[in-house]
Chains A and B, each alone.
Chain A
């Protein structure tokens, strides 16, 4: 089976940095996705890591360590619009296995 763990909630101030950790124990692992989901909306793609290391995309960066079964999503220069749920998902063959999601609240 698949086991994906991430924190339930995080709160941060506008302009700050937040790091969302994700640990996974899965079989047939291909890579790690991060999705963003605003309340009442569909998840949208943020990043996909296959190789170990950090990938930066504007204010968002994602890191993967395959040997440790660990990933994190780093959100920099937080804006109010970043308040959302962030979903970690392991990619196994055709399928994704999702964590329960981390709700990030950005305060002014």
Chain B
């Protein structure tokens, strides 16, 4: 069964803290994605990676960085968390066949105080 897992369902951090969100997929997918989801704005792409050690900026990369040292793991880093980064963060993965259907993790609800 296809599986994407995220390290935490809920996370509370303080302004200025460094935050790591981890995502792991067990499907041997080449592509991995980080989105944030906010009411009325839908899912917005932050970063994606199409191979180990490769990364590409999405639509809203400011304030974020990523790391992909292994194929199955894609990390999102908030170098200095701010209150406007309070959001639901969703990780997804896909392979390179046909439709590139993306499979999503359960999400991490991050609150920055």
Contact = CB atoms under 8 A, between A and B. Distances in A.
Interface of A: 4, 8, 31, 33, 41-45, 48, 50, 87, 89, 91, 94-101
Nearest to B39: A100
B99 A44 contact: no
B100 interface: yes
B107 A42 contact: yes
Given A94-B50, A100-B42, A41 B106 contact: yes
Interface in B62-113: 90, 94, 99-107
Contacts of A101: 42
B81 to A, nearest CB: 22
A95 B59 CA distance: 11
The CB with the most chain A CB atoms within 10 A, among B4, B42, B50, B105, is that of B42
- State the main secondary structure of chain B at its contact with A: strand
B104 A95 contact: no
A31 B94 CA distance: 15
B49 to A, nearest CB: 10
A31 B99 contact: yes
B41 interface: yes
Nearest to A85: B42
Given A43-B43, A94-B50, A98-B44, 15 more contacts: A31-B99, A41-B106, A42-B105, A43-B90, A45-B101, A87-B43, A91-B100, A94-B31, A94-B48, A95-B48, A96-B45, A96-B102, A98-B35, A98-B42, A99-B42
